[in-house]
Chains A and B, each alone.
Chain A
């Protein structure tokens, strides 16, 4: 009898644990791909609040930002996520690029310094993700060493990846080019800014997470 109760309690605990399992989803990619724009859209849809600021100036996100316990329903299923927006990963940072956008020399240097730290944090955190969305600007050649490095490291750590080909609202966007560059991966084309194809994105996210 005691054995049965024990087993029953154990089962309940396990079920609670399982339904409470929260998936940590990282937004990764080079600067300006639209990571924060996408994170904002998701958080607005399901939490009613945004995640961070968006800018056409690269390295807008310079610190890891987390939104916890975002519960999403898609196709009759509900999953809970912790979303982690990360600073865009780059191999170079030139403070003079910030000057061109009207920052003072002091602010530009400060930003550049913060941006270098941000890149380091992004790479360091990569290991801790359950699932990663690699957000790429579909108007840009995807075959870059930064993209290859991010995706290669995720593959080596067996972290599931969904490639988000963003900005499909733009004429020059070429989702097929991204598919051709990373043929082993699922690629979903969306516009994070305008909301095109976001349903398909949620479906792909659930396939990846479920």
Chain B
């Protein structure tokens, strides 16, 4: 299955390319291959929007691999992982969540990885992330808000 690409024009100022990576596309890859794939997208100056979450070890490996790749063009990444309903403390909800996680593994949630040259900052809390980008031409700051609604109703 090939991934979808989305281009966003933000107030006509500059172009931001989002590449959506469905879980099925990284599911069968090894951790190394998965990280390599995501980094190759980011190094093309695109923001990777990944269905599912990385393992803890993969997040650490992603940082390592990013460091190995840094040069004058590529200055690193910003990334965020959203785990839906993670902070829900209702007992039965947690149990249900455990069950879902057993069934679906790390398919749930969302991972966003962007090149540091485009994504200036990601502000996050468990339910919401704010992604700040910078226009190459004007160096002005704009905010692109992403709300995760499944867990905001508590």
Q: Which residues of A contact B (CB under 8 A)?
A: 89-95, 109, 112, 116-117, 119-120, 123-124, 126, 141, 143-146, 148-149, 152-153, 155-156
B63 close to A93 (CB less than 8 A): no
- Judged by a CB distance under 8 angstroms, whether B135 is at the interface is no
With A144-B124, A145-B79 in contact, is A119–B60 under 8 Å at CB? no
Cα distance, A85 to B105, chains bound together (Å) = 35
B81 close to A145 (CB less than 8 A): yes
6 A-B pairs with CB atoms under 8 Å apart are A91-B78, A92-B116, A94-B75, A117-B67, A120-B64, A145-B124
Cα distance, A109 to B71, chains bound together (Å) = 9
- Enumerate chain B residues within 8 angstroms of A148, measured Cβ to Cβ: 59, 81
- Judged by a CB distance under 8 angstroms, whether B98 is at the interface is no
User: What 0/1 pattern do residues 70 to 83 of B give for CB contact below 8 A with A?
Assistant: 10100111111100
A152 close to B56 (CB less than 8 A): yes
- Enumerate chain B residues within 8 angstroms of A112, measured Cβ to Cβ: 70
B75 close to A149 (CB less than 8 A): no
B76 close to A92 (CB less than 8 A): yes
Q: Which residues of B contact A (CB under 8 A)?
A: 56-57, 59-60, 63-64, 66-68, 70, 72, 75-81, 116, 122-126
Given contact pairs A92-B76, A145-B80, a sample of 18 additional A-B residue pairs in the complex whose CB atoms are under 8 Å apart: A91-B63, A91-B76, A91-B79, A93-B75, A94-B75, A94-B76, A95-B72, A112-B70, A116-B70, A123-B63, A143-B126, A145-B81, A145-B122, A149-B56, A152-B56, A153-B57, A153-B59, A153-B60
- Enumerate chain A residues within 8 angstroms of B76, measured Cβ to Cβ: 90-94
Instruction: In the A-B complex, list the 10 residue pairs whose CB atoms are closest, starting with the nearest.
Output: A92-B76, A92-B116, A152-B56, A116-B67, A149-B59, A94-B75, A119-B67, A156-B56, A116-B70, A91-B77
Query: Within the complex, what minimum Cβ distance (angstroms) separates A64 from chain B?
Result: 15
B125 close to A123 (CB less than 8 A): no
Cα distance, A155 to B78, chains bound together (Å) = 22
A89 close to B63 (CB less than 8 A): yes
Cα distance, A62 to B60, chains bound together (Å) = 18
Which secondary structure dominates chain B's binding surface? Answer: mixed
- Enumerate chain A residues within 8 angstroms of B125, measured Cβ to Cβ: 143
B116 close to A141 (CB less than 8 A): no
- Enumerate chain A residues within 8 angstroms of B79, measured Cβ to Cβ: 91, 145
Query: Within the complex, what minimum Cβ distance (angstroms) separates B148 from chain A?
Result: 14
B56 close to A92 (CB less than 8 A): no
- Enumerate chain B residues within 8 angstroms of A89, measured Cβ to Cβ: 63
| Nearest opposing residue in chain B for A154, CB measure | B56
Cα distance, A148 to B54, chains bound together (Å) = 12
- Enumerate chain B residues within 8 angstroms of A94, measured Cβ to Cβ: 75-76, 116
Contact of B124 among A93, A143, A152, A156 (CB under 8 A): A143
- Enumerate chain A residues within 8 angstroms of B60, measured Cβ to Cβ: 123, 126, 149, 153
Most buried by B among A92, A93, A146: A92
B123 close to A141 (CB less than 8 A): yes
